[in-house]
Amino acid sequence: MGPSIQKVLEQENFIAYLPDIVCANNCKGYSVQVQQAGLALMGECAKFGFHYMQPSLPHLFAAASENLIDVPGAVGGNAGWAIGELGLKSSPDFLRPILPNIAEKLV
């Protein structure tokens, strides 16, 4: 979607629903395609509409990190990418306490 995601978020901020979508059914998702698309959307929103995401950041990071392991490859890849995009825009003080949880899943 690129920069046009801002216009969508101005009309309907759906960000709060993303954690529930990507972590549905114990992080098995509604389907692999829905999980993959939800995490891709999370990354796109982080790139182009981060200020809309700030109230939901703890839930977004938790949802994405739960999708790093024991998921199909494309889901895990999108989860890692979404975490990276969110992390690039987040403050170090915000990231400091959540990074150990994310790193634990990768080791």
Check: pTM over 0.85? Answer yes or no. yes
Question: Do residues 23 and 67 touch, judged by C-beta distance below 8 A?
Answer: yes
Assess whether pLDDT exceeds 70 at residue 27.
no
Residue 94: both structure tokens together? 């915000």
Q: What is the pLDDT of residues 74-95, one digit of tens each?
A: 999 999 999 999 999 999 999 9
The pLDDT score that the predictor gives to residue 25 is: 77
Average per-residue pLDDT for the chain: 89
d(Cα 27, Cα 35) in Å, to the nearest integer?
A: 8
Give residue-wise pLDDT tens across range 40-70: 999 999 999 999 999 999 999 999 998 998 8
